[in-house]
Amino acid sequence: MVSAGLAAVFPALAQAKVVEQIHGGRESLSLWYDKPAAPWVEALPVGNGRLGAMVFGRVAQERIQLNEDTLYAGGPYDPNNPASLEALPKVRALIEQERYQEASDLAGSAMFGIPMKQMPYGAAGDLLLDFIGLKDSATYDRSLDLASAIATTRIASGEAAHVREVFASAPDQVLVIRLMASGGAKLNFDLGYRHPSDVKYGLLRAADAGASQYTETLNEDKRPASLSIAADGPGALLVQGRNQPSAGVAAALRYAVRIQAVGDGKIAVAGDRLQVRGAREITLLVGAGTNYVNYADVSGDPVTAVRKQTGAAALQPYARLKAAHMKAHQAPYARMSIRLGGPADSVQPPRLTDRRIAAAESGADPGLATLYVQYARYLLLSSSRAGSQPANLQGIWNEGNNPPWGSKYTININTQMNYWPAEAANLGECVEPVLRMIEDLAVTGAVAARKGYGARGWVVHHNTDLWRAAAPIDGPKWGMWPCGGAWLCKTLWDHYEYQPDQAYLRRIYPLLKGAALFFIDTLVEDRKGRGLVTSPSMSPENAHQPGVAICAGPAMDRQIVRDLFAWTLAAHGQLKEADGEFAAAVAAARARLPADRIGAQGQLQEWLDDWDGKAPEQKHRHVSHLYGVYPSEQINVRDTPELVAAAKTTLNTRGDKSTGWATAWRLALWARMGEGERAHAILLGLLGPSRTYPNMFDAHPPFQIDGNFGGAAGILEMLVQSWGGETRLLPALPKAWPDGKLNGVRVRGGMELDIEWRAGRLTQLGIRGQPGAKAALRHGGELRTVTLDAKGRYRQVFA
């Protein structure tokens, strides 16, 4: 039986070890566990776009790990190589002569950024809460409720109970930690701050080996000299520090973390600790910020900002903070719902999330795919909101100061994949940070275009960071690729097509035009007379001969530039722009881009020459040349069946199993091509323990959030597709999901869809949009057009 103390606080709990609640005949969308987190990838994430935290749910020593979205290393810098422009024609000449190794060597020495590495994303440290006298409990569970965006830990022993709730408030811009004790229990704890330099990323420390009695240290003797921790008024602790230098770029950021405690009992600051004694209810309000204003301006005042944030929040009762947080989260989150599987799958006995993941490849848990989609939506809302930075390689969550790949913005797939589900999943406002980043990159990228290529417009290569660096980095095998900015523009164009708005189109048109101008100036004649190509370039991140990736006109470049030119021309026409000469140049260049080609193996060629069969990595994680299938629509089952067959040949060669994000891309590709069973088989591998951590973070490994977002996009693509001027209903439905329901999914043209199906057959359809709008629908091989009524509605029930 559940203890009386715990039941008094959470009366919905009916038994000890309950880790899932059943509401209305279906599982609540929560992650549930019966033990605390040990390594970081077991902790639960909360975030408000700008401020993030990982909640470990430990009993004797709680750990709350903090992130702030501008806390990168370094400061404003210009990485453009002054030797690049002179080297460019020489590199192009070597490529034309097929002297690829020499071209690669010259590009590596003269065209890459200085420094050749960009600035990594850091962490804002840990809060460690040491609870006096609190030990292993008879009853324990922790959860993350996706609908409320609250992480909860429940601990009970006999009549004594402790409940902790943690959320990151978007309206109040603070992290809120609510601690409650009942049944004779009291809150007695010390709170200290640990600098992130003390944390080694991803390692399971010896202190993590036990069940709940964690005693991680604050390592005072290792604190940087720049770190200051002191009282900041009654019941408040203020932490001040600096970011780290990197690759020769000086540190330019100051950061502040302020913790304000409010509640009963005795609250005091003793040295560098916040102490609470004899309390029943305590609310900790945590603010964090830096002096970052924009990529060229670090004149902000983080101390004033965090004092204002926590001070204003402290004047509000906890109930009001919680209600405002939930309202702000639920307004976008509740727009879309999804249920997969048959009636027997909608109600299940309580199951722990980590055990569901461990058993995922059995295919017996369609509800886990439902949870995966909604978790991705939760993560996107938590890491990308209006006014924040875009979601980076790990969203907003990062344990230390040296994360894998710098946790930056890798824009040869990963950042773009982060936003694949945004529009369909009805979270279009999450794209706003990407728009502002591209507006920054159009400025720094114009410098890169001028200094590196002598070109107009703007260019960004395969990575960028907080400081909007645009030069190529990481060496010629990885970074000599000029299409990163152009691919980012697809996120902007998708948003327009899903939510048409002339003011928005007018805002993005200069970005499209600038990206197109760069290619108008830099495309060159192919050495064999096959048309206009990019040079130098590469097919990310693949080599066509051992150690050499540099080339001219790879398939992905041609596909991306073809799309970019089409979007630019469409925007030009819709806005009735007067620059006819520019439009004519774009149209002429687009017509001269070489078409996609099928190679000797029957594969879609990755390069303009048929090198695929001799490339050293036949199972390479990237499938760059399949951009044309997904996320683009240039290659599709309706218009280009021969190229689709070639794409399938490529995918069969590459294999279904890859890194987390690459597995997600394969899932989306097979779904787009209508292969539901193949897509589902890949999805089971993605959901399993080799590609999903216990907290449902995607495992590259290590953690990269793009797999979460790409996987969710792939699942939605199995159910509804929107391309080619039509909407496809259940185009890749697998047998494992005979029944289901999807409400509030968006499609192009500014419409929302509701669908329901039973025994694999569509039973109900609803559409919402502009009155009189027409929707072209394809289902079961039949295409028909319906018209929305005067209220902007269409509904049909199928026999």
CATH number at residue 54: 2.70.98.50
Same domain, 782 and 685: no
- What is the spatial distance between Cα 290 and Cα 282, in angstroms, rounded to a whole number? 27
Q: Quickly tell me which residue has 């907080």 as its tokens.
A: 466
Same domain, 519 and 484: yes
Q: Is 734 helix (H, G, I), strand (E, B) or coil?
A: coil
Structure tokens at 534: 């990019």
- What is the spatial distance between Cα 645 and Cα 673, in angstroms, rounded to a whole number? 9
DSSP structure string for 670-688: HHHTT-HHHHHHHHHHHHS
DSSP state, 699?
Answer: B
Residue 528 maps to a domain = yes
Say if residues 142 and 33 touch (Cβ distance below 8 Å): yes
Say if residues 64 and 53 touch (Cβ distance below 8 Å): yes
- What is the spatial distance between Cα 270 and Cα 237, in angstroms, rounded to a whole number? 10
pLDDT of residue 9: 39
Say if residues 161 and 185 touch (Cβ distance below 8 Å): yes
Residue 341 maps to a domain = no
Identity of residue 360:
A
Q: Domain residues for 477?
A: 84-116+367-724
Same domain, 131 and 191: yes
The domain boundary residue, chosen from 724, 752, 782 = 724
pLDDT of residue 348: 52
Sequence-ordered list of residues with C-beta below 8 angstroms from that of 136, at least 6 positions apart, any chain = 59, 157, 211, 212, 213
Residue 361 maps to a domain = no
Which H/E stretch holds residue 303? helix 302-314
Same domain, 306 and 397: no
Q: Quickly tell me which residue has 């693949």 as its tokens.
A: 542
Same domain, 666 and 698: yes
For 31, list phi and psi in degrees, rounded to 5.
Answer: -95, 130
DSSP structure string for 137-154: -SEEEEEEETTTTEEEEE
- What is the spatial distance between Cα 561 and Cα 578, in angstroms, rounded to a whole number? 22
- What is the spatial distance between Cα 501 and Cα 221, in angstroms, rounded to a whole number? 56
Same domain, 31 and 108: no
Cis geometry, peptide bond prior to residue 76 (ω within 30 degrees of 0): no
Same domain, 64 and 99: no
pLDDT of residue 157: 84
Residue 279 maps to a domain = yes
Say if residues 350 and 31 touch (Cβ distance below 8 Å): no
Same domain, 310 and 410: no
Q: Is 528 exposed, middle or buried (0-12, 13-18, 19+ CB in 10 A)?
A: exposed
Same domain, 130 and 243: yes
Residue from 14, 12, 57 nearest 33 by CA: 57
DSSP state, 552?
Answer: S
CATH number at residue 614: 1.50.10.10
For 665, list phi and psi in degrees, rounded to 5.
Answer: -65, -45
- What is the spatial distance between Cα 707 and Cα 418, in angstroms, rounded to a whole number? 8
Residue 534 maps to a domain = yes
Structure tokens at 672: 């787009």
pLDDT of residue 199: 60
Q: Quickly tell me which residue has 């009189």 as its tokens.
A: 772
The domain boundary residue, chosen from 724, 750, 777 = 724
Q: Is 28 exposed, middle or buried (0-12, 13-18, 19+ CB in 10 A)?
A: middle
| Sheet hosting strand 740-747, strand order edge to edge | 337-340, 740-747, 751-758, 761-768, 793-797
* Low-confidence spans in the chain with pLDDT less than 70: 1-27, 198-215, 221, 342-350
Structure tokens at 521: 């100036």
Residue 342 maps to a domain = no
Same domain, 789 and 745: yes
Q: Is 173 helix (H, G, I), strand (E, B) or coil?
A: coil
How many domains does one find in the chain?
3
Q: Is 210 helix (H, G, I), strand (E, B) or coil?
A: coil
C-alpha distances out from residue 256 to 176, 289, 399, Å: 17, 6, 17
For 645, list phi and psi in degrees, rounded to 5.
Answer: -60, -40
Residue from 114, 107, 104 nearest 82 by CA: 114
The domain boundary residue, chosen from 689, 724, 759 = 724
Residue 359 maps to a domain = no
Same domain, 318 and 235: yes
- What is the spatial distance between Cα 8 and Cα 294, in angstroms, rounded to a whole number? 49
pLDDT of residue 213: 53
Which H/E stretch holds residue 70? none
Which H/E stretch holds residue 417? helix 414-418
Residue 360 maps to a domain = no
pLDDT, one tens digit per residue, over 658-714 is 999 999 999 999 999 999 999 999 999 999 999 999 999 999 999 999 999 999 999
User: How many CA atoms, within 13 angstroms, populate the side-chain half-sphere of residue 547?
Assistant: 6
Its pTM stands at: 0.95
Same domain, 21 and 152: yes
pLDDT of residue 73: 97
